[in-house]
Amino acid sequence: MPFITQFNGKQPTPGGSSRRVEKGAVENARKTLVSVLEERFERLPASAMETIATVEDPQRLTTLMRSAVKVPTLKEFLSLLNG
């Protein structure tokens, strides 16, 4: 007997839930990264915001977050972001 969700009456997509969780985690990581950068450097260039919004790799976001708290200048962070 197939499993039917009570929310939409459709069968769940295999792996769909984990993809949503991962997508949510990536979006959360992006928001946190932007918050850290804004706290440290006040304003971010629009180009930096656009680039961060396109990062899909959780490991890359983790690396960027670590850099965001360590680099002494926004210019140095932007170099890492775009490099």
68 assigned to some structural domain: yes
pTM of the predicted structure, to 2 decimals: 0.74
For 31, the token pair is: 């928001």
Q: Which residue reads 């959780």 in tokens?
A: 58
7 assigned to some structural domain: no
4 assigned to some structural domain: no
10 assigned to some structural domain: no
The domain total for the chain is 1
CA distance 28 to 31: 5
71 assigned to some structural domain: yes
Host domain of residue 73: 16-82
For 1-54, the pLDDT digits (tens) are 555 555 555 555 555 667 777 788 899 999 999 999 999 999 999 999 999 999
Average pLDDT on 50-73 reads 97
